[in-house]
Amino acid sequence: MKSLLRTQLLYASLAVAGASLSVFSAARLFGELSAMGPLKAMQQWASDGQMGSHSRRQKQLSRLLMSLQVAPWSADRHMDLARFYTWHMRRTTRRSEQHQIYAQRTQQQLLAAVQQRPVWGLAWAALAENSVASGHYKPVIEGFLSRALRLGPYEPGTLRKIALVGMLHWSNLCPALRGAVRKVVRRSLQIDDHPATLIRLAFSLQWQDQLQDLLQAPSQRAEFERLSRRQGS
């Protein structure tokens, strides 16, 4: 009798677990489907630099918020919303009220992302980038940057963000982090599919003197020389 009861309890537990898993899977799928439109829109923004009308952006925001509502445990959905707010932050004047509002919203979503996925180097790098844009204190920026360096040392997207933060914040970095950023830039030049983008970024941020001895391929040196001539003309 006891054995039968234990068996029935086991089957009941499995049924509950199966139902919970089905609900979780359905919520995850619905969240991904809801986010598809906004993600495609942000890809288009990156391609042509145009963000469309205010009403269309509000619809994209509503879909992202819906995707997060059904899957609040998803680090990816928090990151999607952070990217959306970052796009809007970049359209505002630095230190304006709107800039600070979007920067704060971005920070909140990125913090939620690393809470759900603490080992996500890209999210820590994005936190460091947003902290620079928000004018946060040096220890905050270096803390986020250190975690990104530790957790995402071979992810091209993470490396690009680390390089950007390092170049932007170079004069304020401690010697250890300066050395780590230089290693990241060297590694990024080795594995990134578009190293010329990184070289152009270095010139735009007046970091070319640090970059010169990190170049490796002849094509990289050629791009460096081309940009040097343009800057000197």
Convert the pLDDT of each residue in 92-123 to its tens digit. 887 788 989 999 999 999 999 999 999 999 99
Which of 124, 195, 214 lies closest to 156, judged by CA?
A: 195
End-to-end Cα, the chain, rounded Å = 92
User: In this predicted structure, what is the pLDDT of residue 207?
Assistant: 96
Q: Name 203's Cβ contacts closer than 8 Å, sequence gap at least 6.
A: 227, 231
Q: How many CA atoms, within 13 angstroms, populate the side-chain half-sphere of residue 107?
A: 18
pLDDT 10s per residue in the chain (233 long)?
Answer: 555 555 555 445 545 545 544 555 665 565 577 777 777 888 888 877 788 788 888 888 888 888 888 888 999 999 999 999 998 898 888 778 898 999 999 999 999 999 999 999 999 999 999 998 888 778 889 999 999 999 988 888 899 999 999 999 999 999 999 999 999 999 999 988 889 999 999 999 999 999 999 998 999 999 999 999 998 75
In this structure, are residues 150 and 176 in contact, taking their beta carbons and an 8 Å threshold? Answer: no
pTM of the model: 0.81
User: In this predicted structure, what is the pLDDT of residue 9?
Assistant: 54
DSSP state of 50: -
